[in-house]
Structures are given as structure tokens and as C-alpha cells.
Amino acid sequence: MSDILSKIKKANLVGRGGAGFFVAEKWLSVAKALESKSADNKKCFVVCNAAEGEPGVMKDGCILEHYAARVIDGIKIAIDFLSAERAFLYLNYAYHKKLNKKLASLIKDAKIEIFVKPINSGYIGGEESAILNAIEGKRIEPRLRPPFPTTSGLWGRPTLINNVETFYNVSLVAAGQFKNTRFYTISGDCPFEGVFELPDNLTVEKILKQTDNFPKFPFFIQVGGNVSGEVFNAKQLKRPASGAGAITVYSRAKNDFKKVVKNWLNFYVNESCGQCAPCREGIYRLRDVFMKEKIDWRLFNDLLDNLSDASFCALGAAAAVPIKSLIKNVYHEKN
Amino acid sequence: MKKINLKINGRRLSCLEGKTIMQVAHDNGIEIPNLCYHPDLPVKANCRVCVVEIVDRKNLATACSTPVAAGLEIKTDSERVKRSRNLNLELIFAEHIKRCPTCIWRFNCQLLEYAEKYKIEITHFSDRKSKRKVYKFANAVEIDGRQCIDCRHCLDVCNDVQKINYLKLTGKGIDQEIVPASEHRGLPFIGKKAKPADCIYCGQCALHCPAGAAQEQSHWHLVEKALRDKSPLPPFVKGGKVLVAQFAPSIRVSIGEEFGAPYGKIMSGQVVAALKKLGFNYVFDVNFGADITTIVEAEELVARVKSGIPPDKGGQRGVLPMLTSCCPAWIKYIEFYRPDLMPNLTTARSPQSHSAGLIKTYWAEKMKINQKNILTVSIVPCTAKKFEAGRAELKIRGNWPIDYCLTTRELAWLIKKHGIDFFKLKPAASDNPLGESSGAAAIYGATGGVMESALRTAEYLLATARDTVCLEENKKNKMSLKAGHGRVEFKQARGLAGVKEAVVELAGKKLRIAVVNGIGQIQPVFDKLNDYDYIEVMACPGGCIGGGGQPIPTTKEIIKKRLEALYKIDAGASVRRAHENKEALRALRWLKGKGKLRAQVLYTKYRKKS
């Protein structure tokens, strides 16, 4: 096993995009996919996902702003490891505007190409297989799995896709400087919104307290992003901030049930790519049902279950998460 | 491939690794409903109607896209599956306005079938798309956005199979819509050299649409009205019309499917009987017209080949390769995309135009009917034929040879709508004298068929050193016919390969031929055009038996069965060469010396379209 792979394995690196996949496992599966190809057919690609399309997550932008050299280094390590043809830095439009020059000077003559996330690609434009479509110039929406990007990604070649923070961590691990920290984005009804670097095993409660953000009013939180994160009440804070490491604080006084759910549904109706029936039609009907004076709860729940059970991609399935958990953990909470 | 064991609905099954759950279920008689699955197209898994439960997996899986694995335990009808599947069906139904009473897809509608089977309320949700546009492409095909269920088959066939790139998908989420390139500014221009796209009316979108959103523009109601208003026979009432139907070579082997017959059942007699029962006064077989086409086309081919005296010997080559012209979608393609090749197209009209032209001239004179009092309806496997029938350059003495074109599906719909029991009909023969035909005509419906028919007659012409087919019924004719007896079958032209190439020797003359099976396969032939003398192109995969107006479903497997049936007709025919069809020769004899009329009935010209 190569040096870097064993280091990553030893550090137990977990992907920081949100799905929490083991980094070593992903790298290995790309390497394995390459092994099975003939000698003249070993082309492969690396993609760094800096789309950061989830509202309430800002850490990739922060990392790029302060530690861009580390991120580029991490990408280069991946290119070397796989002898990759090229890497793409799939970059959020706003970050590109702000950091383009700096990134370009860091990349210099490395085989890294900045690909600006198309401005109209929306939420789905950050889904990893939709990124492949974007780079290939196809309609921006998720691809059917299998095959997975690790075996058949960009132009059908094995492709490694990792998040900005993951590449940052890879660079640290390579240099022996990884300290088991991660970047948390805290936002919402709290005094100190922003990105904080803290140990990766802290509970939500500790994170809020250490950043002086623990609310003194009735509240609930959403972990993992403003639209796809899971919702918990104030008694459920002894858990890690998993996924993309975002914590959003909602004041109960300011955020009534109807308003929050309506916002989410409006977001998803606008952002669904339209590929599959449960998401395209289902979310539209969910909003319809929800906006009625008398809500048909049975139908509402069936539509939600159908989203998590039968959607084409993980984003469709994730759309049901905040609503279901809000109902379970907040709306039905016994005080 | 490895054999594995798994369980579906408690049944232990063994199957080959690499198949999908849908395939394995189907192989074992377990039907899983689906709307966005077509065996010839890539799996898209977007309708989510084929969801199944796999024990120990978190989410449901789509049977169409999930490969089987050893030890899987699959449930296709659990409560969880039912709830999800039925909900997805309801959601999809709400995308589709119901115009069932006049929808020719009604008797075959998968949506209605599933609604009944799974007891689904099709109006659970309000119609979402009732304000969508209907896009009409000439008079041939339409895409009704109000009925579209977003399966995207039409995109796949138009862009990836036919490679026309006329249909685009715009918008996202609930705003997603299929639009023609003409409506989608900017996008049809891909790359530097790309030209704007235009529809060729092949109707493959309609053939692959599971919801009747892409359909032929229907003309059955006009025909129905004409049948109601027709003149009683005899005597002809003033203003009343004599209704004449003619049916294309490939209809007879496909229409049975609409009534549940096995694939590839030959039903010529029932087609005639059904048309008579619907009220047509006369029914002719377009196979007769196909024999005329073969003769005219073979004569032209021989003329073009013969004029090929090498330039260094002072001769001038006839324009080669010669291209077939029976397929109206191919003609539209040439006129729009490759007008530079218009001189290569044979000037022969298509079979339906030849027979309809003769009906309104030759037959009309025989029957002493004013051609203006004849109304011809052409039953075709094709949507582009509707467009062809409306071409002004095909007019004869100022009249259209064909008044209406109906697809196979439209005819089947009329038969069902009028309560005619198709299988109980007593088979009838088509009317004479335009009823006789050769085996060469029968195979016009298959890819390579036009080529093979023309080669049979061209060989006769070359072997007997004639420029034209002998029209006299005398000894010389019989002898010369004999002289041409070399072989009948040109197997090089047969089969479902994308491009079929061969060098055939006709009476010592070597001819380089190519048969293009589906317009999407054309590029390699364009790339070396000068390597050929004669090229047949059919826009639809399989030829007319896979035409845009054929019964749904049409798949490669089904096309194969229809194809076999056509070759069976040919093999069993007493006359297998077009120029041995005595009635065809008689009609051509009648035309001889009729100058302008002869030209109008037999030949056509082409016009650049932009």
C-alpha cells in the first residue's frame, strides 16, 4: 500500500462533503478501477468539489480563503497517487470571483483546472455526479448509479471526487500535521455566526457553548445545512455535528412550524432537477397539500416517505429529512 | 457469466449475474410495472414506478436499474412497494391531461391499464400541465406538453438513436419541458460547424412515447367524416366521392399486434376486409405501387451506371451513388441537411405516390370516374408520409394523388372504435387491377428491401442489355425475362445491422452497395460516399416495419419478427420480381406516350429546405 494511503487510513479520514464516506476507501476504489484497465487505458480524473451549494454551510469558502495552498497541495497528492490525467476544481461562482487570482497563482503549472460552477445550476449543481455532467457540458443533474464515479466518472473514466475540506485534510495528513479538527459553520439565531475550527468529536452542545452561541431562549437546531439537515430539539444536543458540520440555530419564537416548512418546500420546488417523479412531482404536491387550510396529513406523510424511499438521488431523499425530523423532534416534542 | 440464486416474492430463483431485477422478474413471469423503461433505450429510472423492496436495504430500489446479486430477497408487491408505486403513478397521472375519448392510444394506454390494475384514482391530484403548449411539426407529428410524463424517451430517440437533435429539454423541476429546437434559441447550434436542426418527421418520438404525448397528427376523424359523407355506389351522387384505400407493404405484418395477434402475423386479407367494412369502396395494395417504383428506380440506376464511361474516354459519369427516395423522412433530411446530394436521389416517386397516382389516372379512366371524385386514403406505417402526401410537386393535373394518410395505429383505432372484430373478418383480396404484386414489393417494408427489389430488376435489365423493362407481352418479353433469371435473393442487403455493405455483380457489372438501417447510422456512409454506386436509406431502424406510425411497443425483437414475416411473403410469392408483375407492366404501357402525364405519375423533384 502506498505511503499516503496508509497515512489517510491511519488518520481515519472521513469525507467532509456531507455523506461521511471513508476517504481511504474511496481512493482505493478508484485505484482498483484503474488496475482492471489495460495499460493504454489508464486515464483518470480528480475533482475537488467546492460548489458549497447547501445554504448554511460556509466552511469550504473559509478554507479556500485561508488555506488555499493546503487544498491545492491535497489535490496534487491525489493526482500523484492516481497518476491522474487532470484535476478539476469545481468552484462556487462567488468564491471564484473572490479568489480566482490567488488560486491561479497557487496552481501555476499543476494539472489543475478551475471549473466555475454554472451560475444557474442551482442546488443540484453540487451533487457529485451532477458535477460530472456540468464539466462534460451535459444537462446538470445526477447520474444513475451504478456505475459510481469511482469506476465510471468523467468521460467514463474512473474519477475521484472529494470535498475541499477533505483535500485540506489530506495535505495535513501527508505533512503529519492533522490534528483531528474540523470546520463547523454556525448560523441562524445566534450572536457569533461563522466558521470555527474545533476538535471533530465535539457534541453540538459543546460546540455551541465553546463558541458562546448556546441560546438562552427556546430553540431548536438543524445539523448539516439549512435545507437538508436533520432537526433536533434542545434536549438532543449530545451528538456530533455530522455531515458537512453545519449547525443552524432557530429561535422558536421567530420560527413557527408553518414558516419553516414552507421555506424548505419553496426551496426544493425551485431546486429539484426534475428528473424523477417523487421529487419533481412529489415536492410540488407536498407544498400544495401543506398550503391548504386543512392539511391531509396522511397524504403529506406518504409523499415524504416516498421521497426518502424512492427518489433518484440522495438530495431527493434528503429533502424529506428536515421536515420529518422537525415534526418528530420539535412539533411532537413533549415538554 | 455466473449463475446466482435469489428470492423474489418468496420464490427461489436462479439467474445469470449481470441482469437487472426487472429482467429476471420478467423472465420468471413476474411483471413489474414501468413507464420509462424501453428495452432499446438506456435505462433512465425516472418514473420510479418499478420500485421493489430489497430486504436489508434502506431504500426501495428501481427494478429497471438495479442489478441482481446473489442472495437478494426481493419483494415486488409489499405494502411499502405498493404505497410508493401507487403514489408515483398518481403523481405521474397528474402530469397528463385526460383526453381519452379521442386519443387513439386509448385502447393500448399503459396509464389506464395500470390505473385499473392497481385501483388508482387517476384524478387524485389536479392536472398540472393543462396550460402547456402543443408543438406541431408540419402536418406529421406533434408533441403535446399537456400529456408529457417526463420520461425522456423522445429525447433519447431523437438525439441519440436518430441523431437529429431536434428535441431539447428546457427548464428544471416542474418547469421542465420538451421543446423543439426551433423554440429553443441558441441551443441547436452546437459547436462551430453545427447547423440548425429540423424535424424529419420520422415519428420515432411517437413510437417510443409511453403516454401518447408525442403522436402522429391524427387525420382519422377527417377520414371518418369522408366515410360518412361518401357517395352511395352506384349511381354517384353529385359532389359525393368514391372512397379508395391503399395500404402499405409493412402494415399487414404489424397491425395484428394491435388486436393481440402474435408478432409478425400476416394479415393482408383482414386489412382489406376491415377497410371494406369501414366503408371504403375500393381497397388497393401499395405493393402494386412498389413494383412500379422498383421498375422506375432500377431503370434509372442502370442508366446512371451505364453512363459511367470513364472521363478519360470522353464519357461523363451519371451522378453516383444513386440514393433511394422511398423514405419521406430521408428526403426531408436531404433537403434540409444535405441539399448538395439532391441530384443523387432517384427521381422515382415513392410507392404510395405511384399507386395513388395511377388510381387517380389509369384506374379512374378505366372506371370512367372523374379523378376529382376519388378520395384516396393511404394507410402507412409512417408519420412522414403525411408530410409527403402534402408536397405540392406531387400533384397530378393539379390534384393531390393522396388525400389523407393514416398510420397503422390510426387504422387500428378506427377498427376498434367502430366495434369491428378484426379476427372474425373474412379475409378479402385487394381490388384489381391494382391489386397484383410481386414478392419484391412485399419486402419494401424491411431495411434493404428496396435495394434488393431494385437489384433483381436491374440485373434483368443488365443481363438483357435493355435500358427499360419490356412492356410488350410477346415472346421476346418472356425470353428476356428468362435471361434475367440469375438469382432472386440478395442476402447482403438483409438483416438489422446499422450499415450493410457489399459488392454485387449484376451480369458482369460490379455494383458497390450500402444499406443504411436508420438515419442515425448515416455518418460513416457519408464519410465515404464516393465508394458506393447505390445506397438505400431508411430513416427508421428496421425500415418501415419499425416506422413511426407502427404499433406500440416496437422493439428490436418485435421488428425482427415483422421482418421475418415480410421475407416469408416474398419467398412464397409466385412472382418475385417487380418487372414480372403483369398488371404493373400494363399500367406502365398505358402511361407510355402520355408525355407530361407519365412524368407526373412516375417522377418527382426535390427542393432545398431551410
Cell of A8: 489517510
> What's the pLDDT score for residue B187?
44
Query: Domain span at residue A53?
Result: 3-174
Q: Do A285 and B84 touch (CB under 8 A)?
A: no
pLDDT tens-digit series, residues B173-198: 999 999 998 765 544 444 444 567 89
Helix and strand numbers (H, E) in chain B are 20, 18
Q: Do B46 and A310 touch (CB under 8 A)?
A: no
User: Residues A73, A137: one domain?
Assistant: yes
CA-nearest of A110, A123, A133 to A51 is A123
User: Residues A166, A283: one domain?
Assistant: no
User: Residues A42, A152: one domain?
Assistant: yes
Q: A93-107 and A59-82 are packed helices; what angle lies between their axes, rounded to 10 degrees? A: 40
**Which helix (H) or strand (E) segment is B52 a member of?**
strand B51-54
Domain definitions of chain B by residue range = 3-93, 100-216, 220-585
pLDDT band at B559 (very low <50, low <70, confident <90, very high): very high
pLDDT tens-digit series, residues B66-114: 999 999 999 999 999 999 999 999 999 999 998 898 899 888 899 999 9
CB atoms closer than 10 angstroms to residue B300: 18
**Domain of residue A145, CATH code:** 3.40.50.11540
Q: Do B49 and A277 touch (CB under 8 A)?
A: yes
The CATH number of domain B220-585 is 3.40.50.1780: yes
**Helix intervals (H) in B188-285:** 204-208, 220-229, 268-278
- Locate cell 457519408: which residue? B526
pLDDT tens-digit series, residues A158-214: 999 999 999 999 999 999 999 999 999 999 999 999 999 999 999 999 999 999 999
Q: Which of B44, B45, B87 sits opposite A302 (nearest CB)?
A: B87
pLDDT tens-digit series, residues B438-459: 999 999 999 999 999 999 999 9
> What's the pLDDT score for residue B229?
82
Phi, psi of B135 (to 5 degrees): -95, 125
User: Residues A244, A269: one domain?
Assistant: no
pLDDT tens-digit series, residues B248-290: 999 999 999 999 999 999 999 999 999 999 999 999 999 999 9
User: Residues A158, A139: one domain?
Assistant: yes
Sign of CA dihedral A311, A313, A317, A322: negative
Find chain B residues with C-beta within 8 A of A309's C-beta: 51, 59-60, 80, 84
Q: Which of B46, B60, B171 sits opposite A309 (nearest CB)?
A: B60
Contact residues, chain A to chain B, C-beta under 8 Å: 122, 124, 139, 141, 144, 146, 269-278, 280-282, 284-285, 288, 302-303, 305-306, 308-312, 317
**Domain of residue A322, CATH code:** 1.20.1440.230
User: Residues A195, A271: one domain?
Assistant: no
User: Residues A210, A280: one domain?
Assistant: no
**Domain of residue A214, CATH code:** 3.10.20.600
Domain boundary among A202, A235, A251: A251
Is the confidence at residue B314, as pLDDT, over 70?
no
**What CA–CA distance (Å, rounded) separates A183 from A198?**
7
Chain centroid, CA A38 distance in Å? 34
User: Residues A13, A78: one domain?
Assistant: yes
User: Residues A169, A56: one domain?
Assistant: yes
> What's the pLDDT score for residue A64?
97
**What CA–CA distance (Å, rounded) separates B227 from B422?**
19
A219-223 and A230-233 beta bridge pairing: antiparallel
Find chain A residues with C-beta within 8 A of B54's C-beta: none
Interface predicted TM-score (ipTM) of this complex, two decimals:
0.94
Domain boundary among A174, A207, A237: A174
User: Residues A151, A287: one domain?
Assistant: no
**Total of domains in chain A:** 3
Domain boundary among A206, A224, A251: A251
Q: Which of A144, A303, A305 sits opposite B45 (nearest CB)?
A: A144
For all residues of chain A together, what is the average pLDDT?
94
User: Residues A247, A261: one domain?
Assistant: no
pLDDT band at B315 (very low <50, low <70, confident <90, very high): very low
The arrangement of secondary structure in B3-93, i.e. its CATH architecture, is: Roll (3.10)
User: Residues A241, A195: one domain?
Assistant: yes
Q: Do B92 and A274 touch (CB under 8 A)?
A: no
Q: Count of CB contacts below 8 A, A vs B?
A: 89
**Helix intervals (H) in A83-214:** 93-107, 128-136, 164-174, 204-210
**What CA–CA distance (Å, rounded) separates B208 from B554?**
8
**What CA–CA distance (Å, rounded) separates A173 from A73?**
11
**What CA–CA distance (Å, rounded) separates B462 from B600?**
26
The arrangement of secondary structure in B100-216, i.e. its CATH architecture, is: 2-Layer Sandwich (3.30)
Query: Which residue in chain B is spatially nearest to A316 when comparing CA positions?
Result: B173
Q: With contact defined as beta carbons under 8 Å apart, do B481 and B551 qualify?
A: no
